[in-house]
A and B are shown apart, each in its own frame.
Chain A
Amino acid sequence: MENLTGNLAELKAKIETELNVLKNSKELYEFKNVYLEGKKSKISELMKEMRNLAPEERAGYGKSVNELKEWALGRFAEMEEKMKALELQHRYEKEKIDLSIPAEPQKIGNLHPVTLVRNQLIDIFAGMGFEIYEGSEIETDYYNFTALNTPQDHPARDMQDTFYLSPEFLLRTQTSAGQIHVMEKKQPPIKILSPGKVFRSDDDATHSPMFSQMEGLVVDKGITLGDLKGMLDVFVKKIYGEDTTTRLRPSYFPFTEPSVEVDCSCFECGGKGCSLCKGTGWIEILGAGVVNKQVLENCGIDSEEYSGFAFGIGIERTAMLKYGINNIKLLFNSDIRVLEQITEK
């Protein structure tokens, strides 16, 4: 009996020693097999010794073996936990990498600044009930000028140097040409937005022979200059910020009467005066006016029953103001160094 008790103590000491020298979980599980698990494990063998004991000694002995087993399993679980943590730590350490090595972004292209502005304008006006109509770039003299109250010898023809393709056909000088096509086909209510390329024979530092306009047209009963102002107020707040205000001043377009030039308070300085607004506090953004009655009549719309307003925005100019691009030519150059800078905000 004493001998057996001695064996128990010996085994306990051995387990403690062994456990402390185990290097990894593989050895740990081998240890478990050898000492704790199965019929041939050391602890089982000690248990088998019980049959050699006197019956009265068996209960005490069995209890001692079980206690030892309990204790050993506890120690094993402790070690298992420690070992796992350690091994996880090793695994991570092996995967230490140089975090400073640069990574390339997934290449995503950008829409052209003109498309970006165009989309913004469309979003704003679509919400106000405007449909989008894209006219043709090649137009007739009639649609580009005559129907817009600009007959052959009209002084306003000098305002725009026109590219002619034949005596009758030309490259449209204004998206207003599209107005006529729409009004000829449709009776009011009309709310259209007509974006597109226009062409003028001008090519210098600040002019490009091709640029983009967005024409807006509203024709309905009782439309007034006040409605134009009201709509423009909403528009400038949406595109340039809530604090932006508008100012109308007299101008001239053959197809509107009265005609106005529209300025908005400078969104850079808030109207105090800066280099962007050349110290005036105002930035010219578009031309507009009440649709000339003659234009409505030219399209078969009763100008006593209906009235309307129209406005035309230069898209490149808007893009240049919005993104701080200083040269219009940069927009047509396809220079990737420029294009990759302008993204949707």
Chain B
Amino acid sequence: MILPLSWLQDYVDISDVTVDELEKKMFDAGFEVEEKYELGKDISNIVVGYVESCELIPETHLHVCQVDAGVHGKMQVCCGADNVKAGGKFPLALVGASVYATAKDHKTVEGVMTIKKGKLRGYESCGMLCSGVELGLTEDLYPGSEYNGLLVLPDDAEVGSDVKKLTGLDEWIFDIALTANRPDCQSILGMAREVAAMLSKELKMPATDYTETGVTKDGFKVTVQAPDLCPRYSAHYVHDVKIEESPAWMKRRLALVGMGSISNVVDITNYVLKEIGQPMHAFDCSYLEGNEIVVRRANNGEKIVTLDEQEYSMTDANLVICDGVKPVALAGVMGGLNSEIRDTTTAVLFESAKFARDNVRKTARSLGKSSDASSRYEKGVDEYSTVLGMKRALHLIEELGAGKVSSTHVDVNTGNSIEPTPMTVSIKKVNGVLGIEVPTEDICKVMKDLHFNPTVDGDALTIQVPAYREDMLPNADSKVERYPDVAEEVIRMYGYDHIVPTFMPTAQLTMGGLNLQQKGELALKKTLCMTGAHECMHYSFFSPSDLDLLRYPEDAMERNAIKILNPINQDLSLMRTTLVASMLNAVSRNEKNGILSGRLFEVAKIFVPKALPLTEYPEEKNRLCVATFGNEESFYTMKSIAETIASSMDITFAYEETKKSFLHPYQAVSVTCEGVELGFFGKVAYDIQDELDMRTPAYVMELDLDALSAWYGKKRTFKPLAKFAEEKRDLAFLMNKEITFKQVEDCIRKANKYIKEVKLFDVYEGDRIPEGKKSMAYTVTFMPKEEPFEGDSVQKFVDKICRTLKNDLDVELRG
């Protein structure tokens, strides 16, 4: 919220606190000043200059002036403005001053410049006489500022005095971040209440007095057909309206909070919005038909053209303000063009209402239309300010002489009081929340400063909660006591630095830490790091195009993904059903960055709906995805990662050839453990590598961690060392190319019951062996069981193995 300090000063005296002190006070009380600046922060050393003499330099438009700058002395200044004259007072930028530099049009600001001593046409010039624009002023901030020439200062301006002060450029502006529970502070008055409390000063209320003329608008009535969306609607008729410009002070204040001036009546509504926090609307009575206002839900398809000449088609979710015939305003958002205030307006109907914040928000969002009023309503407007705002507007009408206040005032409401609500709490419980004993007199002082009018009776503190403090008011649906609200008010004013740190002296001892599942997952991640893989993290959502990238068939389970109704964009619109797509994209990004090899892994959830659209919680399954890429990677390096995982968990994986739409048809396997399906890995299909512009081969694995978690923390028992020495034999076999390692291994194991391990150490295909054949060399380890092997028993085993291999697979022992 933008808070000009001069406006705040109207309602609370801050003249004895510095800007920094005020900022600190606000910060401590829960109001963070996001930005603070002096309006004229960029300019300096500008004083009131009195032009004593002014002579035209021949054959130019320049004048050479002798300027009196009071305490700063007298100096000669050359000036090209057409309104420079002897006897005039103008802003004088002294040598060394900073002013805005303008383009040739003298309007567009192009930066800040420093004034230097110079010579023009041979005449020395010690300073510069300035225009309003060069000081950063606008017409609304200071009249005459946008004249294309010098800014004329008043005759009574003291020569040599500071022009920033004179023109209000010494104004300080705070931009304050407000929390969502304090919509009552979304105004100058609201902040003044808080600042008065912080400084323990008196709050001066804005003038709200006016005199009714006795004139009435006979028969005028207001009907609220949707009180749930409009708990209070007040209207007041103003006659003998003269539409004019607003006075300079009002224009300036509106300009300070970023609003342009339109006309006295419209400016009053905006002024009240900013000052009191109450959105107002003014209708031109001559365009209202039927002498009534009806607040109702719009009919489906009903149309309205708003002030900005946009037409909107409404539904019954939108609230409209109608006259006896037609919609005249989109409630809480914007008035209708048909009843807008014009130069010819002579009678006005002021509206000050409370509309349900949620409905205003929905209307603003659904129609894509917002305004200062709607954003104010969305934060929450209280009925206290609805009443106060109307009074303030009528006062201003009178003060500005913009019209006369009639006696026709209608206030339709649902009976909510705008008087304070009493609330009693236990002081002990207030202190119990804080964990310290705040002296009762300090509690009372805070309550008093915040206008809660406290009274104390023993432990009972009774306060009167003002109607604008809706955050403190008891909730009709809840019976919980509200002493924490009081505790919060007390401590933010008393000071959080009073809180004494304690360490739960009343709490029971609890055991903390990771559970088995969480420990297992962390151990798995650390194992993957040991294989050289970096952990990465991707969004839980992905793109429909990712499903196409992975070539999933139409009926694939992965296509049954949960849609986000309001995604940031289509690429982030589906909840992931696989981690593979994000991973391949990550590999592709790395390759584009010139990283041509690496290993990555991610542990994350995939989302499997039981029904779409969702009617119950979907399954969230934990998955692991690993990718390897680079010329040194192969199917076997990925298999080695799988084996590392298995070995780290003391389990055994089994692999079966499998097909996946996104994997190489002959380099893909499923992974199981004790018959439980865990996932797959394989080489990424070439068309997908091409589509992702990958320059090196990539391999990807996805495992179901929920399934794998069955083995987390597997109990390990010590196996006694073997009693007898094991025996190893290296055997090289010649066989048909198609025979797999697995076939040979199975056959060897079938042939002998003492096999501990069959390990492949070489595969050879080439010139030294016949076409269509390959050689595989194994180390076979035999482990004796009950007794040691006798002399030639291992040789007998080998012979048997060779016979079986020959018999079953036509495999020959080499040499």
- Taking the closest CB of chain A, its distance from the CB of B648, in whole angstroms, is 14
| A68 on the B face (CB < 8 A) | no
A126 and B512 contacting across the interface, CB-CB below 8 Å: yes
0/1 interface trace, chain A 124-141, chain B, CB 8 Å (1 if under): 011111111010111010
Segment touching A, from B613-621, B735-743, B789-797: B613-621
Interface positions, chain B 583-605, Cβ under 8 Å from A, are 586, 589-590, 593, 595, 598-601, 605
0/1 interface trace, chain B 366-380, chain A, CB 8 Å (1 if under): 000000000000111
Q: Which of B510, B514, B618 contacts A191 (CB 8 A)?
A: B510
Q: Would A210 and B540 be within 8 Å (CB), given that A138-B575, A218-B504, A335-B590 are in contact?
A: yes
| A297 on the B face (CB < 8 A) | yes
Interface positions, chain B 771-797, Cβ under 8 Å from A, are none
Question: Nearest A residue to B533 by beta-carbon distance?
Answer: A109
Question: Nearest B residue to A150 by beta-carbon distance?
Answer: B180
B614 partner residues in chain A, CB cutoff 8 A? 138, 165-166, 168-169
B504 and A220 contacting across the interface, CB-CB below 8 Å: yes
| A90 on the B face (CB < 8 A) | no
| A15 on the B face (CB < 8 A) | no
Within the assembled complex, what's the spacing in Å between the Cα atoms of A191 and B513? 11
Q: Would A108 and B30 be within 8 Å (CB), given that A210-B539, A225-B435, A226-B435 are in contact?
A: no
- Taking the closest CB of chain B, its distance from the CB of A284, in whole angstroms, is 10
Segment touching B, from A31-39, A53-61, A72-80, A251-259: A251-259
B511 and A340 contacting across the interface, CB-CB below 8 Å: no
Residues of A contacting B: mostly:
mixed
Q: Which of B29, B183, B433, B511 contacts A224 (CB 8 A)?
A: B433
Interface positions, chain B 460-486, Cβ under 8 Å from A, are 475, 478, 480-481, 484-485
| A292 on the B face (CB < 8 A) | yes
| B710 on the A face (CB < 8 A) | no
| A324 on the B face (CB < 8 A) | no
A199 and B518 contacting across the interface, CB-CB below 8 Å: no
Within the assembled complex, what's the spacing in Å between the Cα atoms of A197 and B181? 26
Q: Would A158 and B361 be within 8 Å (CB), given that A153-B356, A258-B433, A294-B480 are in contact?
A: yes
Q: Interface extent on A, as a size class?
A: 35 or more
Question: Nearest B residue to A209 by beta-carbon distance?
Answer: B568
Q: Which of B501, B507, B530, B563 contacts A220 (CB 8 A)?
A: B507
A110 and B535 contacting across the interface, CB-CB below 8 Å: yes
0/1 interface trace, chain A 277-310, chain B, CB 8 Å (1 if under): 0000000000000101110010000011001000
| B526 on the A face (CB < 8 A) | yes
A125 partner residues in chain B, CB cutoff 8 A? 512
B499 and A229 contacting across the interface, CB-CB below 8 Å: yes
Question: Nearest A residue to B479 by beta-carbon distance?
Answer: A297
B566 partner residues in chain A, CB cutoff 8 A? 163-164, 201
Q: Would A250 and B30 be within 8 Å (CB), given that A138-B618, A164-B565 are in contact?
A: yes
| B515 on the A face (CB < 8 A) | yes
B589 and A132 contacting across the interface, CB-CB below 8 Å: no
- Taking the closest CB of chain A, its distance from the CB of B582, in whole angstroms, is 8
Question: Nearest B residue to A143 by beta-carbon distance?
Answer: B617
0/1 interface trace, chain B 171-191, chain A, CB 8 Å (1 if under): 000000001111100000000
Question: Nearest B residue to A196 by beta-carbon distance?
Answer: B605
B507 and A218 contacting across the interface, CB-CB below 8 Å: yes
Within the assembled complex, what's the spacing in Å between the Cα atoms of A307 and B504? 11
Q: Would A163 and B491 be within 8 Å (CB), given that A225-B433, A260-B496, A293-B480 are in contact?
A: no
- Taking the closest CB of chain A, its distance from the CB of B139, in whole angstroms, is 35
A163 and B567 contacting across the interface, CB-CB below 8 Å: yes
B535 and A293 contacting across the interface, CB-CB below 8 Å: no
A248 and B433 contacting across the interface, CB-CB below 8 Å: no
Q: Would A153 and B589 be within 8 Å (CB), given that A132-B513, A340-B534 are in contact?
A: no
Within the assembled complex, what's the spacing in Å between the Cα atoms of A110 and B537? 12
Q: Would A132 and B518 be within 8 Å (CB), given that A224-B433, A258-B492, A293-B480 are in contact?
A: yes
Q: Which of B504, B510, B564 contacts A230 (CB 8 A)?
A: B504
| A102 on the B face (CB < 8 A) | no
A249 and B28 contacting across the interface, CB-CB below 8 Å: yes
Q: Which of B361, B499, B607: most chain A Cβ within 10 A?
A: B499
| B358 on the A face (CB < 8 A) | yes
A250 and B532 contacting across the interface, CB-CB below 8 Å: no
Interface positions, chain A 6-34, Cβ under 8 Å from B, are none
Q: Which of A122, A250, A307: most chain B Cβ within 10 A?
A: A250
- Taking the closest CB of chain B, its distance from the CB of A232, in whole angstroms, is 8
Q: Which of A225, A254, A292 contacts B499 (CB 8 A)?
A: A225
A191 partner residues in chain B, CB cutoff 8 A? 507, 510, 512
- Taking the closest CB of chain A, its distance from the CB of B303, in whole angstroms, is 27
Within the assembled complex, what's the spacing in Å between the Cα atoms of A307 and B432? 10
| B488 on the A face (CB < 8 A) | yes
B539 and A230 contacting across the interface, CB-CB below 8 Å: no
- Taking the closest CB of chain B, its distance from the CB of A204, in whole angstroms, is 10
Interface positions, chain A 158-182, Cβ under 8 Å from B, are 158-159, 163-166, 168-169, 171
B179 partner residues in chain A, CB cutoff 8 A? 251-252
- Taking the closest CB of chain A, its distance from the CB of B456, in whole angstroms, is 21
| A333 on the B face (CB < 8 A) | yes
| A345 on the B face (CB < 8 A) | no
| B508 on the A face (CB < 8 A) | yes
Within the assembled complex, what's the spacing in Å between the Cα atoms of A187 and B12? 49
Within the assembled complex, what's the spacing in Å between the Cα atoms of A131 and B478? 31
| A4 on the B face (CB < 8 A) | no
| B509 on the A face (CB < 8 A) | yes
Question: Nearest B residue to A199 by beta-carbon distance?
Answer: B540
Within the assembled complex, what's the spacing in Å between the Cα atoms of A228 and B6? 40
Q: Would A119 and B522 be within 8 Å (CB), given that A153-B358, A247-B496, A258-B492 are in contact?
A: yes
| B434 on the A face (CB < 8 A) | yes
B488 and A258 contacting across the interface, CB-CB below 8 Å: yes
Q: Which of B484, B506, B530, B537 contacts A221 (CB 8 A)?
A: B506
A136 and B530 contacting across the interface, CB-CB below 8 Å: no
B563 and A165 contacting across the interface, CB-CB below 8 Å: yes
| B436 on the A face (CB < 8 A) | yes
- Taking the closest CB of chain B, its distance from the CB of A255, in whole angstroms, is 12
Interface positions, chain B 602-658, Cβ under 8 Å from A, are 605, 607, 613-615, 617-618, 620
| A156 on the B face (CB < 8 A) | yes
A159 partner residues in chain B, CB cutoff 8 A? 180
| A233 on the B face (CB < 8 A) | yes
Within the assembled complex, what's the spacing in Å between the Cα atoms of A212 and B496? 28
Question: Nearest A residue to B478 by beta-carbon distance?
Answer: A294
Q: Would A107 and B532 be within 8 Å (CB), given that A220-B507, A221-B507, A249-B28 are in contact?
A: yes
| A334 on the B face (CB < 8 A) | yes
Interface positions, chain B 683-718, Cβ under 8 Å from A, are none
| B412 on the A face (CB < 8 A) | no
A127 partner residues in chain B, CB cutoff 8 A? 512
Q: Would A111 and B529 be within 8 Å (CB), given that A134-B518, A293-B480 are in contact?
A: yes
Question: Nearest B residue to A193 by beta-carbon distance?
Answer: B512
Q: Which of B183, B541, B562, B617 contacts A136 (CB 8 A)?
A: B617
A247 partner residues in chain B, CB cutoff 8 A? 496-497
B530 and A108 contacting across the interface, CB-CB below 8 Å: yes
Question: Nearest A residue to B597 by beta-carbon distance?
Answer: A336
Beyond A109-B532, A158-B379, A189-B508, 12 additional contacts (C-beta under 8 Å) are A107-B532, A112-B537, A129-B509, A134-B518, A158-B180, A158-B361, A227-B504, A229-B502, A293-B480, A334-B537, A334-B586, A337-B595
- Name the 8 nearest CB pairs between A and B, nearest first: A224-B435, A226-B435, A250-B30, A222-B506, A107-B532, A252-B179, A153-B358, A258-B488
16 A-B pairs in the complex with CB atoms less than 8 angstroms apart: A107-B532, A109-B528, A109-B531, A111-B526, A112-B536, A125-B512, A164-B566, A171-B564, A191-B510, A201-B566, A222-B432, A222-B505, A231-B503, A252-B179, A334-B538, A336-B600
